[in-house]
Amino acid sequence: MHNKTIADIARDLHSGEYSSVELTQHMLQRIEQLDSTYNSFITVTQQQALAQAKAADERRAAGNADFWTGVPIAHKDIFCTNGVLTSCGSKMLSNFVAPYDATVIDRFNHVGAVSLGKLNMDEFAMGSSNENSFYGAVANPWDTDRVPGGSSGGSAAAVAARLVPGATATDTGGSIRQPAAFCGLTGLKPTYGRVSRWGMIAYASSLDQAGTLTRNAEDAALMMNVMAGFDAKDSTCVDQAVPDYRAELNNSLEGLTIGLPKEYFRDDLSADMQQQVRNAIAEYEKLGAKVKEISLPNTHLAIPAYYIIAPAECSANLSRMDGVRFGYRCDDPQDINDLYKRSRGEGFGIEVKRRIMVGAYALSAGFYDAYYKKAQQVRRLIKNDFVEAFKEVDIIMSPTTPTPAFKRGEKTADPVAMYLEDIFTIALNLAGLPGMSIPCGEVDQLPVGLQLIGNYFDESRLLNAAHQYQQVTDWHLHAPADIA
């Protein structure tokens, strides 16, 4: 059962091959046996999952089931979940039990999905390796000495290890696409505003977006059919019609124009990585697509701009974590200043403190114009590059990451080297565009990701292109060697 996709499971439940309770018991047993190796879950909601599965079976017996009834998934621990610990991977929220459901959680509950629990992540979604969690680092199922990518590394590891068929995730600078590439998965970051952020703990509010981690594009389309759509509780959520993403998967790619930005095929990208990506693009040409070289001339400014804007927004968002209203509070504070200082000093990890300091500096009087305002101007230039590019092409392709998954501890002492792991993904978040990563090969027996970049609200075209590629290749079917 654990090797089946979301689409397979839904079909099996519908045909009565097994019940939701049987499936849920199997998945929970697998998590108990294996997750001590991967550390992908922070909280396993065993009793709730079994209750949801029982209710799903009753609903099916009564003839009221729909597609998602009884299908198990799990959620990144950044989504508030009513009555369940929502820690965001931080000591600061290690005692926070959310009193309400995020909109994403509510929508999956509404269609009858079964939640197996909450998944590990870099603290407050800050990281590219999932080594920054208060609950410990997550291991990549392809090689447990290597990172799964961050910040949605727990979501990626759980899906890659077949502990859950699909998971929610979030992407602020590549936190869905990079873990997808490192773990051989299909990861989708929708257009900013396509999925509600209400109830999702904010890192950088103008960049954060909820999305999916699955084993193939069809499952991503199925999850998007639940998640996408307007939410009046999120003022940044866009009121625009949502297509049936699954219905458009089989459209022909004949005549599709693919743009290859020359700035993304850099000289320092290894020959092996380039070859895998170019092999994938050759498959698209066989499917009828045309390839055109394009230029995104301000690409080199994306990382500097991102690491001003994101820390600035995080320093503002995390100011609410002060030990007074909720979350961690230090023991025996001497006065209010001691309460603030020690609660934040003890509650936040090193990477979070680093970004708060950078952000506070960038926003401070005398430096705002030189740093934050300038970074926002650069952001507009980057967006304009994409707007011009999409006048010539339908979709843009590039490597997702400059390297396959690296070893744990390899880059923790060098934050700049860690930040450069997101060099191909960050510009999309600054522009608010949708992006995907799909498996397209292997280097040193580790997965390599192909990044697909779409125009605004064009997730259907991304999913269609990914699905068609997965109909003629089998990289998405490869699994870690030790996964039975």
In tens, the pLDDT along 344-380 reads: 999 999 999 999 999 999 999 889 999 999 999 999 9
Enumerate the H helices of 350-456 as residue ranges: 350-363, 374-389, 415-419, 426-431
Q: How far apart are CA 81 and CA 284, in angstroms?
A: 41
- The residue type of 192 is Y
On the question of a cis peptide bond just before residue 151, with omega within 30 degrees of 0, the verdict is yes
Mean pLDDT of 54-83: 97
Among residues 151, 152, 155, 315, the one annotated as catalytic is 151
pLDDT at 188 over 80: yes
Token pair, residue 407, equals 């070893």
pTM: 0.96
- How far is the CA of 256 from the CAs of 17, 259, 262, 279, 304, in angstroms? 40, 10, 19, 17, 33
For residue 483, the model assigns a pLDDT of 81
DSSP string, 264-320: GS-TTS-HHHHHHHHHHHHHHHHTT-EEEEE--TTGGGHHHHHHHHHHHHHHHHGGG
Q: How confident is residue 41, by pLDDT bands cut at 50, 70 and 90?
A: very high
Residues 465-482 have pLDDT tens digits of 999 999 999 999 999 987
The answer for residues whose C-beta is within 8 angstroms of residue 79's C-beta and 6 or more apart is 86, 102, 104, 105, 118, 168, 199, 200, 201, 210
Q: Which range, of 73-77, 125-129, 223-227, averages the lowest pLDDT?
A: 125-129
Residues 286-303 have pLDDT tens digits of 999 999 999 999 999 999
Q: How far apart are CA 200 and CA 113, in angstroms?
A: 19
For residue 320, the model assigns a pLDDT of 92
Residues 233-262 have pLDDT tens digits of 999 999 999 999 999 999 999 999 999 999
Told to judge if 128 belongs to the known catalytic residues of this protein, a careful annotator would answer no
For residue 28, the model assigns a pLDDT of 98
Told to judge if 252 belongs to the known catalytic residues of this protein, a careful annotator would answer no
Mean pLDDT of 258-282: 92
CA-CA-CA-CA torsion sign (71, 72, 77, 82): positive
Nearest one of 431, 403, 430 to 418, comparing CA atoms: 403
pLDDT at 114 over 80: yes
For residue 326, the model assigns a pLDDT of 81
Q: How confident is residue 4, by pLDDT bands cut at 50, 70 and 90?
A: very high
Residues 400-458 have pLDDT tens digits of 999 999 999 998 888 777 877 888 999 999 999 999 999 999 999 999 999 999 999 99
pLDDT at 269 over 90: no
Assigned fold of 6-254+469-477: Amidase signature (AS) enzymes (3.90.1300)
Q: How far apart are CA 310 and CA 202, in angstroms?
A: 11
- The residue type of 359 is G
DSSP state of 456: T
Told to judge if 315 belongs to the known catalytic residues of this protein, a careful annotator would answer no
Rounded to the nearest 5°, which phi and psi values hold at 170? -135, 160
Among residues 115, 128, 175, 398, the one annotated as catalytic is 175
* Cα dihedral value 206, 263, 152, 354, nearest 10: -70
DSSP string, 417-434: HHHGGGTTTHHHHHHT--
Q: How confident is residue 330, by pLDDT bands cut at 50, 70 and 90?
A: very high
pLDDT at 267 over 80: no
For residue 293, the model assigns a pLDDT of 97
Among residues 19, 40, 76, 133, the one annotated as catalytic is 76
